[in-house]
Amino acid sequence: MVDTNLQYTEQNIQVLKGLEPVRLRPGMYIGDTDIKGFHHLFNEVIDNAIDEAMAGFCTEITVTLHPDDVLSVADNGRGIPVGIHPQEGRPTVEVVMTMLHAGGKFGSGGYKVSGGLHGVGVSCVNALSEFLEVDVYRDGHHYRQRYVRGVPVTGVDVVGPSQVIGTTVTFKPDHEIFGKNLHFHAETITGRLRELAYLNKSVKIVFNNAVTGESETFHYTGGVVAFVEKLNQLKDPLHKPLYAFKERDDIQVEVSLQYNDGYQEILFAYANNIHTLDGGTHVSGFRTALTRVLNAYARKNTLLKEKDPNFTGDDVREGLTVVLSVKLPNPQFESQTKVKLRNAEIDGIVNSVVGEALADFLEENPAAGRKVVEKALTAARARAAARKAIELERKSVLESSTNLPGKLADCHSKDPRECELFLVEGDSAGGSAKKARNSKFQAVLPLRGVVLNVERARLDKILNNNEIADMIRAIGSGISTVNVNGNGDDTGDTFNLDKLRYDRIIIMTDADVDGAHIRTLLLTLFFRYMTPLIEHSHVYIAQPPLFGVRHGKVIKYAMDEQELEEIMQDMPKRGIQVMRYKGLGEMDADELAETAMDPATRRLVRIELEDAVKADEIFTVLMGDSVQPRREFISRYAKEVSNLDV
Ligand code: 0RA
């Protein structure tokens, strides 16, 4: 077994050939070679350890972030086999590390269930790493093999004896493949570890940040129930969470749900630990069961009268928080970017597991049952009221052509394709924006005060809010009665993109915490009630600068301290004046035009659906275990957005 032969052998050439396509076209295997692909390497390695846990052999995983973007993932599973592979004639661990698609699913010890979206296997990580080292502890020995860019540079050596069993994979992403400036983000890593710990309650996951000396442990023996409680922690729940787990035909269904007194549906659905943002067959099975069982229960207990119509899906989803996790042998996803589960057999299984569990829960908890049904009744009435309000609104728009809000300074062009609407925080900045705009194609709508928090309000109330009603009228395309939450719902029938009056809707707020708050509220509104605006990339954020540096007649602008620093270095220090803009109101019309409005010079960020989903999650999930004030989240998200420059 011991082989320290470093020669470039025929076998090494074969390995290189085997993994060559990965280095030639990394994007085909890990999506991209940007920050996402960079972290994909980590996902692939942690998924292997989680697979070992799902198979029931691993209880503890330790992830360590070392200096220089070296990452290691240690598990106490069975250890990757080291014996000679019967077909390949080389140690199995070497085969796993150097051959494409030679993942865990071989031999009799293979897994029933396996994670990984692309399932490309750890050999891809190896191919794309400057170096990778695998330490295997089993059969009383500690083995190690080292690779450089996927090619073994040692044999599978015995390093010494071992009392323990497990596997440790240590690797450093190759900067020949990834940009020089990419680094592991501790928060991205811990976010995923936290999620995995909720979904796999038997595993304890430890994260050591050897760079900062910090360490965090994720272990939630409550599993999906703890996840639901976490999601509802800032809300007022109506009852104790429901929990169900069933295994049928090698398929595991695990679910927890709890209603709160709010109006939003929060649904986190997973298939083999992958967050299925676009839902799929497991989500539709869940929803069918929920509506069916609540209707049956309400009828049986005469909470719904004979003349009342059945609850709709929307009625029973208000204020519902759900974590649904299915684990299945051969997950099929709609596509690589849209994460939607396709396996047809899952719909019926989830439907029956959830249906039985919910029916039992309602029988055993009549007080909870009554509250939930009453909530659905209120939701049904509010929905009817909202439909009426929308109908009235629509009629009044149809009846008069001058139904635009009084505060709107509209543009002259009537061709939506060239028109822009600026939603501006405050009347005074609104005034400057009106002066700064090109009135041919730019319209300005000042928004006074903080916009209603749509997160906590119901549709009929949202429609009665003046600021929002003005905005809806100005935009022209209406709003959906069905709110959407990134789970692949359709958006109702009252939204009409053809009526959109502006191609670009540009949110322009101060670069402070209040501005970030308004921006998040507007994004939440667009995301929940006007989703196609975001799907079709009509929503933008203006990026007015924080600093101006004046030298004679020239002003240069900086978005942040770092840019200010760079500008200062390029300028003679004498005779310059640095201005810090506290708000849009402090800029004169020319400055505002140049930095935020004139298409030739301004900076805009286009909002992608993914950002909106993320904003929504940050709003509701609360990353991190220490309960942080809401404001801090909002400003953190605001920072993230500023990095997404188009
Ligand atoms: C296949 C078979 C066996 C273990 C593993 C895969 C394995 C893979 C990884 C990847 C990271 N950690 C891992 N731990 C285990 C064991 C087969 C046997 O011993 O019978």
| Three-state secondary structure readout of 106-160 | CCCCCCCCCCCCCCCCHHHHHHCEEEEEEEEEECCEEEEEEEECCEECCCCEEEE
pLDDT confidence bin for 637, thresholds 50/70/90: very low
Q: Which residue would you say has higher pLDDT here, 615 or 534? A: 534
The residue from 34, 512, 535, 598 that is catalytic is 512
Residues 533 and 624 in one domain: yes
79 C-alpha to ligand 1 centroid (Å):
5
CB atoms within 10 A of CB 572: 8
Is the CB of 78 inside a 6 Å radius of any atom of ligand 1? yes
Q: What are the angstrom distances between the C-alpha of 171 and each of 133, 464, 482, 546? A: 6, 56, 46, 40
643 contact partners, CB below 8 Å, separation of at least 6:
none
Is 405 found in the same domain as 301? no
The token pair at 218 is 């994720």
Closest protein CA for atom 20 of ligand 1? 109
Structural domain contains residue 597: no
> What is the per-residue pLDDT for 627?
33
Q: Within this chain, do residues 321 and 308 fall inside the same structural domain, yes or no?
A: yes
Strand order in the sheet with 554-558: 554-558, 547-551, 576-580
The answer to whether 427 is a known catalytic residue is no
Q: Which of ligand 1's atoms lies nearest the C-alpha of 122?
A: 10
Contact yes or no for 29/118 (Cβ under 8 A):
yes
- Which residue has better confidence, 632 or 387? 387
Do the domain assignments include residue 12? no
**Most distant CA atoms of the chain, gap in Å:** 86
Same domain (yes/no): 278, 393: no
Alpha carbon of 52 to ligand 1 centroid (Å): 7
Are 91 and 207 found together in one domain?
yes
Catalytic residue among 130, 425, 470, 617: 425
Ligand 1 centre distance from Cα of residue 157 (Å): 18
Tell whether ligand 1 has an atom less than 6 A from the beta carbon of residue 442: no
pLDDT at residue 485 tops 60? no
The CB of 593 under 6 Å from ligand 1? The reply is: no
User: What is the pLDDT at residue 115?
Assistant: 54
Are residues 306 and 449 both part of a single domain?
Answer: no
DSSP assignment string, 540-557: EEE---SEEEEETTEEEE
Catalytic residue (choose from 157, 334, 503, 514):
514
Is the CB of residue 115 below 6 angstroms from any atom belonging to ligand 1?
Answer: no
Distances (CA, A) of 284 to 115, 159, 340, 353, 636: 21, 52, 11, 13, 34
Per-residue pLDDT at 17: 73
Contacts of 543 (CB under 8 A, 6+ apart): 559, 596, 602, 603, 604, 605, 642, 645
Q: What are phi and psi of 450, to 5 degrees?
A: -80, 130
CB 197 within 8 A of CB 205: yes
Residue 211: give its domain's CATH number: 3.30.565.10
Distance from C-alpha of 293 to C-alpha of 287, rounded to nearest angstrom: 10
Q: Let me know whether 30 and 165 are in one domain.
A: yes
Give pLDDT tens digits for 74-83. Answer: 999 999 999 9
Q: Whose CA is nearest to atom 6 of ligand 1?
A: 104
Residue 483 domain-assigned (yes or no): yes
Give the CATH number for residue 299: 3.30.230.10
* pLDDT the model gives residue 454: 65
Average pLDDT over residues 196-222: 97
- In whole angstroms, what is the distance from residue 533 CA to residue 574 CA? 48
Q: Are residues 487 and 442 in the same domain?
A: yes
Beta carbon of 103 within 6 Å of any ligand 1 atom: no
The residue range of the domain holding 185 is: 20-218
* pLDDT score recorded for residue 638: 40
**75 CB within 6 A, ligand 1:** yes
258 belongs to a structural domain: yes
State the distance from the centre of ligand 1 to the C-alpha of 23, rounded, in angstroms.
25
Average pLDDT, the chain: 85
Q: Which residues contact 299 (CB under 8 A, 6 or more apart)?
A: none
**DSSP output for 169-208:** EEEEE-TTTS-TT----HHHHHHHHHHHHHH-TT-EEEEE
Pair of tokens at residue 361: 């829960």
Residue nearest to atom 9 of ligand 1 (CA): 80
**Of 218, 251, 266, at which residue does a domain stop?**
218
| DSSP-derived secondary structure for 58-79 | --EEEEEEEGGGEEEEEE-SS-
49 Cβ below 6 A of ligand 1: yes
**Torsion angle (degrees, nearest 10) of CA 618, 642, 469, 408:** 170
425 given a catalytic annotation: yes
Residue at which a domain ends, from 174, 192, 218: 218
What proportion of the chain, given as a percentage, has pLDDT over 70? 83
Mean of the pLDDT values across residues 3-7?
51
Close Cβ partners of 356 (under 8 Å, ≥ 6 residues apart):
244
Ligand 1 centre distance from Cα of residue 81 (Å)? 6
Same domain, residue pair 508 and 370: no
Shortest-distance atom of ligand 1 to CA 78: 15
Our answer to whether residue 512 is catalytic in this structure is: yes
Asked whether residue 252 is assigned to any structural domain, the reply reads yes
Q: Examine the fold and report which residue of 218, 236, 263 is the final residue of a domain before the chain moves on.
A: 218
Residue 613 — very low, low, confident or very high, per pLDDT cuts 50/70/90? low
Residue 430 pLDDT greater than 80, yes or no: yes
Amino acid in position 417: R
Same domain, yes or no, for 213 and 97? yes
Whether ligand 1 lies within 6 angstroms of the CB of 167 is answered as: yes
Looking at ligand 1, which residue's alpha carbon is closest to its atom 8? 80
510 part of the active site: yes
Place of tokens 């709709």: 312
44 in a structural domain:
yes
Residue to mutate (ligand 1; options 47, 80, 97, 99; most atoms within 8 A of CB)? 80
Residues 345 and 490 in one domain: no
Answer yes or no: is 83 within a domain. Answer: yes
pLDDT band at 611 (very low <50, low <70, confident <90, very high): low
Protein residue with its CA nearest to atom 2 in ligand 1: 109
pLDDT digits (tens, 9 = 90+) for 286-312: 999 999 999 999 999 999 998 999 999
Pocket test for ligand 1, best of 51, 78, 167 (most atoms within 8 A of CB): 78
Catalytic residue among 44, 229, 510, 616: 510
Nearest CA to ligand 1 atom 10: 48
Token readout for 373 is 């049904």
CA distance 266 to 323: 8
Nearest to 506 by CA among 477, 469, 543: 543
Residues 120 and 232 in one domain: no
Name the domain count of the chain: 3
| Residue 473 belongs to domain with CATH number | 3.40.50.670
Residue 1 in any domain: the answer is: no
**Any idea which residue has 């442990």 for tokens?**
217
- Residue 102 CA to ligand 1 center (angstroms) comes to 12
